[in-house]
Amino acid sequence: MKRLATLLLALALPGLVAATDYTVQPASSTLGFSNTFQGESFNGHFGQWTAAISYDPANLAASKFDVEVTLASVKTGDSDRDGALPGTDFFDVAKFPKAHFVTTGFRQSGGKVIADGTLTLRGVTKPVSLDVTFKPQGSGATLDVAGTVKRLDFNVGTGDYADTSVIGGEVKVTAHLQLAAK
């Protein structure tokens, strides 16, 4: 009986193992997006954000992402756009200074891993799914995520800016994170 209990405990332990916690290396990590304005593509990024990453590709149930973005840190390389995005028609950083994404779970879809979660932006919380590519490297890893956010679902670009023929309605979000195990 003692052997059976030991065997059952040994079989159960892999499911109880926590995912590895990682620290993001900011100098070699980016959080960006792309969209179109009057048919022309543009890219942007956020200079200030934090990410708590706990990930184990063999135990997705124990994995979690928690990302907070300082919206006023947005840069696109265009001074007019960079001046407008923090304003009331877009991010409205005076009322909503941060965006927040937290995972609710992970799932396999074919050969891909999908991170399902909720994004809170401008006081609106909606589900968002991101494709995840995780590559271990020594004691760390690289983590790439990509997905699409419908900006009007979050009231980003209101009034005259709600026209998706002028500013694209779907914003591609990407991140490349260099991680070090804690």
Domain boundaries, the chain: 18-181
Q: Is 95 exposed, middle or buried (0-12, 13-18, 19+ CB in 10 A)?
A: exposed
Q: Is the pLDDT of residue 11 over 60?
A: no
Q: Is the pLDDT of residue 172 over 90?
A: yes
Q: Is the pLDDT of residue 4 over 90?
A: no
C-beta atoms surrounding 71 within 10 Å = 21
Give me the pLDDT at residue 174, please: 98
Give the integer Cα–Cα distance in Å for 175 and 179. Answer: 12
| Architecture of the domain defined by 18-181 | Beta Barrel (2.40)
Give me the pLDDT at residue 130, please: 98
Q: Which of 5-19, 66-80, 110-124, 157-171 shows the lowest mean pLDDT across its residues?
A: 5-19
Give me the pLDDT at residue 115, please: 98
Q: Are 115 and 134 in contact (CB under 8 A)?
A: no
pLDDT band at residue 7 under the 50/70/90 scheme: very low
Q: In terms of Cα–Cα distance, which of 139, 26, 161 is closest to 87?
A: 161
Backbone angles phi, psi at 45, to 5 degrees: -150, 165
Q: Is the pLDDT of residue 58 over 70?
A: yes
Query: Which whole number is the average pLDDT over 74-86?
Result: 97
Give me the pLDDT at residue 12, please: 43
